[in-house]
Structure 1
């Protein structure tokens, strides 16, 4: 009898260890892993208006993956240290990862952090992606899912939301009446991006900020950290060495969280993921404040990472965990119009280019003239993937754009799930996403280019579609 009892206990323990459902209840599992996506020295970095040649590697760039499994549904989230990623690269990554793991592609949310010091993964301004790097990225991003799936183990999950208002500032400013703001198309804007600290013509920021810091934590049943997913609406920090590759503050945040949780050198490795929220018009510069002291390369990144990590750690310490939650996802593809140049705009652009010292465009007029010529060959409509994930009572929406903060705040406020947050630059890249009101104000983020081309009402249509997905997830959860 004693022998039989031990055998039953062994079988039950084995079932739990392998994440199988036991007679006592359901089992929640999670796995996490990273995959190195560092580009080759000598290839392209698209962090500026002109292409940058990579000269050295300061810190490795990674694809950071988490897989969650409730016993019926598996979700995969991968955030890569890139400025942005083309849909073609991610579609191939999803195809390969799905083939191996059997996780449906629609259950995979893949995004970029928006570091400006990574490899080029899609065309923007005067940077073109290296074809070999694109193939490499598809394989390595898929590997992040495959490896995380391989690491699935029994887990518990919880979340909380912090606030860190000291590191986010709206970068679009209204200027005093009479201040001329001429854009590269020869027309006048009503706002200026990055107007300069101490500019005497500053009036007020043209929008709000989102200081919210959602933190999702996954642990083993015994409390060993498996993964942490955070989300912060900060464009990026910058300040890297010339031609050097870096994951920016996103990577430094991950390293700092490992230190604070005492999870360095763990096996399997503890994975921290910082995703980009809705930061299309948000950066780390307080234009209304005093000019900061000069800093060394990477010093500002590290300072921001440490401040945000400190707040994330506070949230982490108060998280209440659940042994099991249900998961679901919803996805929709929509088509949106493209703002294409008119005939007179093409004539003007050709004239500017004809007078430029080729092949590199140097002035803003020249850069945007070249962008105008590129936009004439775009289709009239483009497809976009929109997603929503439900993780228990929490929801995540995903948008393939550099999303303005007003949109993210609206989604958080009106979502049927609390909390809800949005991940930008997800499942492709379709440029900036200003609101119609911001289009009227003009400014860099609205200037037509490969980095901003969707129709004026794009944000309204995207938000409406996301609420359809969230309502669908809510209805299915009841």
Structure 2
């Protein structure tokens, strides 16, 4: 039986906060793509937001309320509605109030449904490896140290390697029957943190990327960004203190790389299928033991903070002097030669004494940096103790949704999947063009690979899921991909 003609419509609603006195760099949107192949209807919503419930401006009841309205008023099954958060990070409140979030997002879907037109679909991959880095540093002692704004990076000599990134840009292109593009859905594993200096609320670099795509393709095309498995991915310039914290150049690069892929994709008639199931994932119960281990580590480090004769005022000029000329730090070379000739060692003895004090001061600085990290971890443990107490029980619900559009398959997760999980899913998928849409249909914080547990990275510290979550989630994701 021949496939029926796929139809699609797009629309967007601005969801930026209207609070007085808040600077808006670039508007935040809920962008809706409605699809219908005559048998199945589906909705893909891309939101410039931190998370879909559980964190930030969007509350836990947003998704059920939105789906109920779509199902009751537009007659599209709630389980066929995919809602993804770009994970742009707020400087204060980003979005309009709770009721308006539902109303405006629903309105985008309603308008998209009214604008349906016949389309063809095509998919492919772009490539961009210049703008992100894996923030999980692999240390020589086998542990992980995550690059974060809240604490310093480790000593360079302790770092052995970095983790992987996923440089692929998943691209779905939808064309009208005359060949003009209607929509571009693009999927990339990233973490939207830098923002734009002194310009307040921003959709971040994916907002700029979407603008580049839309302005270059023209004809009212809409670009919808779906966040990927970017839990441990970071902007490459995140810790750079020598350039402004401006994400627009990164967005321009991502947009241009996406366009390069868009222009190579050929579209054709396509069918549609959606599967959505909710599973239960186990939660961790060992937070008290983990806190105690960190407290013991803290006590050992505190015990080493002794015998520091220098303060910062004396340390800095002394450090610079000994770094400028390690061989003859205290005076010109001829003074040292003269002392050696007459059998004196006053300068050499002073250098030994000063170097000892410099080493002790530096060691105390490195200890302080490790203590800062421990304090951040302890605060995170306390936060997650509260979350788990509120959740109750041994497990939490997690929706896993699959959407197949022509030759392209999307698989979702309601958590910050780390990049290895996304790479696993793509490798195991029966579809050549598989996109992993994390941060979708809920928010369960970080979801780290089992092999990361016990290594001390931030994503594991911030993970509320027990180690068994990975097998349960991946099994269901693979099952849905096979059945699509």
TM-score range, shorter chain: 0.7 to 0.9
Q: 1:334 aligns with which of 276, 279, 301?
A: 279
Taking structure 2 as the reference length, what is the TM-score of the superposition?
0.75
Structure 2 equivalent of residue 112 of structure 1:
85
Cα distance per residue 1:258-279 (max 9 Å; x no partner):
121134xx3xxx2111111111
RMSD: 3.0
Residues 439-454 of structure 1: matches in 2 within 5 Å?
A: 439-448=453-462, 452-454=463-465
Give SS of 1:459's match. Answer: helix
Structure 2 equivalent of residue 218 of structure 1:
174
Residues 4-403 of structure 1: matches in 2 within 5 Å?
A: 26-41=4-19, 55-86=22-53, 87-117=60-90, 133-177=97-141, 190-194=143-147, 199-241=155-197, 244-263=200-219, 266=220, 270-285=221-236, 291=240, 293-295=242-244, 297-298=245-246, 301-322=247-268, 324-340=269-285, 364=376, 367-368=379-380, 370-374=382-386, 375-380=388-393, 381-403=395-417
Question: How far apart, in 1, do the equivalents of 2:264 and 2:97 lie?
Answer: 41
Structure 1 residues 135 and 176: CA distance shift in structure 2, 3 A: same
Cα distance per residue 1:92-145 (max 9 Å; x no partner):
111112222211111111110000037769xxxxxxxx9x82222222222222
Structure 2 equivalent of residue 355 of structure 1:
none
Give aligned pairs, total.
395
Cα contact 2:5–2:270 (8 A) shared by 1: no
Structure 2 equivalent of residue 436 of structure 1:
450
Q: Which runs of 5+ in 1 are unaligned?
A: 1-23, 43-53, 122-129, 178-188, 350-362, 474-478
Structure 2 equivalent of residue 50 of structure 1:
none
Question: How far apart, in 2, do the equivalents of 1:68 and 1:419 lie?
Answer: 18
Structure 1 residues 393 and 309: CA distance shift in structure 2, 3 A: same
Structure 1 residues 329 and 372: CA distance shift in structure 2, 3 A: closer
Q: 1:459 aligns with which of 447, 459, 470?
A: 470
Cα contact 2:282–2:468 (8 A) shared by 1: no
Structure 1 residues 118 and 397: CA distance shift in structure 2, 3 A: farther
The answer to whether residue 483 in structure 2 is matched with residue 472 in structure 1 is: yes
Question: How far apart, in 1, do the equivalents of 2:216 and 2:140 lie?
Answer: 45
Taking structure 1 as the reference length, what is the TM-score of the superposition?
0.76
Cα distance per residue 1:386-435 (max 9 Å; x no partner):
10111122110010000011111111111111110110110010110101
Structure 1 residues 118 and 390: CA distance shift in structure 2, 3 A: farther
Give SS of 1:335's match. Answer: strand
Question: How far apart, in 2, do the equivalents of 1:391 and 1:59 lie?
Answer: 31
Residues 397-416 of structure 1: matches in 2 within 5 Å?
A: 397-416=411-430
Cα contact 1:398–1:426 (8 A) shared by 2: yes
- Measure how far apart 1:71 and its partner are: 1.5
Structure 1 residues 207 and 102: CA distance shift in structure 2, 3 A: same
Structure 2 equivalent of residue 425 of structure 1:
439
Structure 1 residues 460 and 119: CA distance shift in structure 2, 3 A: farther
Q: Which runs of 5+ in 2 are unaligned?
A: 54-59, 295-374
Give SS of 1:155's match. Answer: strand
Give SS of 1:162's match. Answer: strand
Structure 1 residues 69 and 441: CA distance shift in structure 2, 3 A: same
Question: How far apart, in 1, do the equivalents of 2:19 and 2:420 lie?
Answer: 38
Cα contact 1:191–1:206 (8 A) shared by 2: no
Cα contact 1:330–1:469 (8 A) shared by 2: yes
Cα distance per residue 1:49-81 (max 9 Å; x no partner):
xxxxx8322211101111111111111100100
Give SS of 1:330's match. Answer: strand
